[in-house]
A and B are shown apart, each in its own frame.
Chain A
Amino acid sequence: QKEVEQNSGPLSVPEGAIASLNCTYSDRGSQSFFWYRQYSGKSPELIMSIYSNGDKEDGRFTAQLNKASQYVSLLIRDSQPSDSATYLCAVNPDYKLSFGAGTTVTVRA
C-alpha cells in the first residue's frame, strides 16, 4: 500500500465550478498535511497546510482533514483557468514528507 494516495485524474471542471481533490494516507502518526500546486515544467509550490481536524480556508481554497479516517481533501471554489495544474498531497510522519502521485486538474473555459 502506498503511503499517500490521491484520486486518479485527470480532473476536468468548468470555469467557476468546484474542484474536489482527495487524498488518503497510511501512517496514523502523521501530524502535518500539505497541498502543493505544480504547474507544468515548474517546481511544487505550497498552497495549503493543515494540522488539526476540520476545515481550513484560504481564499478560494479549503483544506479538510479527518485524522480518524486518514483523509485529507482540497476544494477549489470558483475554479479559474489559472488553477489548471497538478496538485500534490504531502503528509509528514516525521521530518520528511511523503508525497502522493498528484492529481492533474484542468479548468475549461
Chain B
Amino acid sequence: DVKVTQSSRYLVKRTGEKVFLECVQDMDHENMFWYRQDPGLGLRLIYFSYDVKMKEKGDIPEGYSVSREKKERFSLILESASTNQTSMYLCASSSNGQGAPEQYFGPGTRLTVT
C-alpha cells in the first residue's frame, strides 16, 4: 500500500511565523504535490515537484515555497503566515509509471493562523 504521511494533523501558528509542513511518501514516487482545500473552492494546487530539487508553481503559489532535497520528502514553507492561509493542506504523490498517474493523498494538516 502507498503510504503518504504528513508531519502534523493539526497546527496552530501566529501571524508572521514561518511554518514548515512536511510530507513523506514510501513508494519511491517521482511526483509530489501540495494542495490546499477550502470550503467552496475545492482542491487548489500550490506547488508540485517531478524530481529531486525540481519544482513548479501550481495555481496559487503566492506566499508559499517548497523544498525537495530527497525523493521521498516534500516540504511546504509558509514564509510569513497570514490568516488567509488558514486551510487544510494536503500532500499527494504519484509515479511516472506507464498508465495513469494516480495521486495518493496524505491525511492532511489543518492549519490555523491566528
The residues of A with any CB-CB pair to B shorter than 8 Å are: 31-32, 34, 36, 42-46, 49, 51, 88, 90, 92, 95-97, 99-102
Interface 9-mer from B13-21, B65-73, B77-85, B100-108: B100-108
Q: How many residues of B contact A (CB 8 A)?
A: 22
Q: A90–B33 Cα gap in the complex (Å)? A: 15
Contact call A51/B99, Cβ cutoff below 8 A: yes
Q: A57–B86 Cα gap in the complex (Å)? A: 39
Residues of A within 8 A of B103 (CB): 34, 46, 90, 97
Contact call B100/A43, Cβ cutoff below 8 A: no
Contact call B102/A34, Cβ cutoff below 8 A: yes
Q: A72–B9 Cα gap in the complex (Å)? A: 33
Contact call B42/A101, Cβ cutoff below 8 A: yes
Q: A9–B48 Cα gap in the complex (Å)? A: 30
| CB<8 Å pairs between A and B, sample of 22 | A31-B100, A32-B99, A32-B100, A34-B102, A42-B107, A43-B90, A43-B107, A44-B43, A44-B90, A44-B105, A46-B103, A46-B104, A51-B99, A88-B43, A90-B103, A92-B100, A92-B101, A95-B31, A95-B96, A96-B33, A99-B43, A101-B40
Contact call B90/A49, Cβ cutoff below 8 A: no
B45 in contact (CB, < 8 A): yes
Checking B40, B42, B106 against A43 with a beta-carbon cut-off of 8 angstroms, the contacting residue is B106
B94 in contact (CB, < 8 A): yes
Checking B33, B40, B100 against A34 with a beta-carbon cut-off of 8 angstroms, the contacting residue is B100
Checking A45, A51, A96, A100 against B48 with a beta-carbon cut-off of 8 angstroms, the contacting residue is A96
Q: Which residue of B lies closest to A2 (CB)?
A: B42
Q: How far is the CB of A38 from chain B (nearest CB, A)?
A: 9
Q: Which residue of A lies closest to B109 (CB)?
A: A43
Q: A100–B105 Cα gap in the complex (Å)? A: 16
B64 in contact (CB, < 8 A): no
